[in-house]
Amino acid sequence: MATGEEGAGSDLGLAEATQGFLLDARAYWVTRSLIAWDVSDQETSLFLYASRNATMCMSSGVIEGYDSKVELQPENDGLPSSVTQKFTFISSYRAFRIPSSVDVATLVKCQLAVASFDAHGNRQDVTGLQLPGVLDDMFAYTGPLGTIFSEEAVSMYLWAPTAQDVCVNFYDGPAGPLLETVQLNESNGVWSVTGPRNWENRYYLYEVTVYHPATANIEKCLATDPYARGLSANSTRTWLVDINNETLKPLAWDGLAAEKPKLDSFSDISIYELHIRDFSAHDSTVDCNFRGGFCAFTCQDSAGIEHLKKLSDAGLTHLHLLPSFQFGGVDDIKNNWKCVDEAELSKLPPGSDLQQAAIVAIQEEDPYNWGYNPVLWGVPKGSYASNPDGPSRIIEYRQMVQALNRLGLRVVMDVVYNHLYSSGPFAITSVLDKIVPGYYLRRDSNGQIENSAAVNNTASEQFMVDRLIVDDLLNWAVNYKVDGFRFDLMGHIMKKTMIRAKSALQSLTIDEHGVDGSKIYLYGEGWDFGEVAQNQRGINGSQLNMSGTGIGSFNDRIRDAINGGSPFGNPLQQGFSTGLFLE
């Protein structure tokens, strides 16, 4: 309870009191006019509380510090089908109507709570609210996002309907001081500003003033642009770049569609999985400055390229590259890497445990990571570029795709849309959860972030998450001419998102986009588990649901029958290739 005492103790008391009823969110604001909550007492009355400055607290069982209090009316018809189809897991919740006179667009920018009272006016329960439903209902948006270039101007757009204020901080280079701060203006949840063309090549961060449920406070969050097309090292700042600038294109880039390897049918595809760093990190035939990066694929006489040529000649059609977008866990600045002394390790006896100990000691600071730690989906990973600041990562990724296509191999990108590396208002690697907190991440019935996909599960059932995924795929297909996409944990993505992605990609044409979208292949991991299992959050991209869509799914039944064993069974169980057909 807040004691009202002055000084630091007062702040601590307020924080503790707040945490008791606002750091969970068991009620759902599902449309502009409806709130759903799992309350059973038919005599219950509900009130909605809002505080623009996030000063609500509980004192002697009474809610204090709010700016407005609104009584909600029971909706006797319950939740409409449009709501229960989207939020199947709360279909049994009771519905309460918000008066039409309430300014909902203003309230969603506030600290919010809903409280229930019995027939005698005694408070029964109080909780925070989950807002994705009302945000989709009121602010779903299909207009421009990111940076849009014209001949004389640059326009910047950011979707942030819960933000109280947004400005853009421009900096002097990737690590230099602040140059100026420019205010953005809001229209129906979208913040925008138009400036001179000479903003191009500046570095910037958005400063978003917003209520954040992780802290129950109004926070000033510094965030990169979710639609960034360029970055500084370690994604500390967005680089304001025109991705169509001719200086970013390798020679003959625009005509690459005519050089793509022949593909008559998706059934002809054979795929080789490859890690970008592993391909060349220890290849002495590759220029030492290119090893472990995008440029290694342009070294025509290297041992690795010679091997890929042989695979291509033998019938390999596609090269699946493990995550190559901006991910966390590997420093983009190579001088910061720590590596083991391989010469010293080679002196140790084969049975020693010192080799492993040496690797474990630096594993958080070495350059090795599979890459399944998404920070920003739309920009190539900086550690694979010769220079993580500026244009190198864009140019070199394009050179890699071009070189592989000329070897006779189409390029598949491993995309990880099911989770994010970070969340909350503070981490540099947190982006989406700073801009519209609580929207992009899927939460459980208590309002806590779901982590079944690894950590910070995303929620493609939300309109703007679905849109961001499809927009990002189009970015890679058009701007980098990627030939296919492998979806990590596809079962955690909604089927409608996958179908919309396929339709958008296959509509691309050489005449309009420089890409033949009909040749872009989609496939993924259709595992059905976690909070999305059995369509609990909507029809998901599981094996059974994806059947007949033309989108491929990994087949664990064939895998286990051939190899034997399974992730969940006896590893010694024989399969066809491990002797079952003989004995």
Helix (H, G, I), strand (E, B) or coil at 110: coil
> Is 353 among the domain residues?
yes
Q: Which of 138, 156, 173 is the last residue of a domain?
A: 138
Q: Tokens 């002196």 label which residue?
A: 347
> Is 361 among the domain residues?
yes
- 488: annotated active-site residue: yes
- Of 433, 471, 525, 531, which residue is the catalytic one? 525
Q: Which of 88, 123, 138 is the last residue of a domain?
A: 138
Cα distance from N-terminal residue to C-terminal residue, the chain: 71
Q: What is the number of domains present in the chain?
A: 3
> Is 442 among the domain residues?
no
> Is 47 among the domain residues?
yes
Report which of 258, 259, 248, 255 is spatially closest to residue 409, judged by C-alpha positions. Answer: 259
CA pair distance 246, 267, nearest whole angstrom: 36
Do residues 143 and 130 both lie within one domain? no
Do residues 175 and 100 both lie within one domain? no
* Domain encompassing residue 85: 19-138
Do residues 24 and 127 both lie within one domain? yes
476 C-beta neighbours (distance < 10 Å), count: 23
Do residues 100 and 154 both lie within one domain? no
The CATH number of the domain where 160 resides is what?
2.60.40.10
Do residues 150 and 196 both lie within one domain? yes
Do residues 122 and 156 both lie within one domain? no
As given in the structure block, the two tokens for residue 551 are 């989108």
Helix (H, G, I), strand (E, B) or coil at 510: helix
Burial profile 213-240: b = 16 or more Cβ within 10 angstroms, e = fewer: bbbbebbebbbbbbbbbbbbbbbbbbbb
Q: Tokens 């709360």 label which residue?
A: 90
Do residues 186 and 79 both lie within one domain? no
Do residues 109 and 152 both lie within one domain? no
- Of 225, 488, 516, 531, which residue is the catalytic one? 488
354 C-beta neighbours (distance < 10 Å), count: 12
Please report, in tens digits, the pLDDT of each residue of the chain (583 residues total): 233 333 333 344 444 444 467 889 999 999 999 999 999 888 899 999 999 999 999 988 899 999 999 999 999 999 999 999 999 999 999 999 999 999 999 999 999 999 999 999 999 999 999 999 999 999 999 999 999 999 999 999 999 999 999 999 999 999 999 999 999 999 999 999 999 999 999 999 999 999 999 999 999 999 999 999 999 999 999 999 999 999 999 999 999 999 999 999 999 999 999 999 999 999 999 999 999 999 999 999 999 999 999 999 999 999 999 999 999 999 999 999 999 999 999 999 999 999 999 999 999 999 999 999 999 999 999 999 999 999 999 999 999 999 999 999 999 999 999 999 999 999 999 999 999 999 999 999 999 999 999 999 999 999 999 999 999 999 999 999 999 999 999 999 999 999 999 999 999 999 999 999 999 999 999 999 999 999 999 999 999 999 999 999 999 999 989 988 888 888 788 899 888 877 7
- 525: annotated active-site residue: yes
Do residues 35 and 120 both lie within one domain? yes
Do residues 129 and 144 both lie within one domain? no
HEC sequence for 123-134:
EEEEECEECHHH
Q: Which of 240, 257, 272 is the last residue of a domain?
A: 240
CA pair distance 330, 372, nearest whole angstrom: 11
The CATH number of the domain where 74 resides is what?
2.60.40.1130
pTM, rounded to two decimals: 0.95
Under DSSP, the state recorded for 406 is H
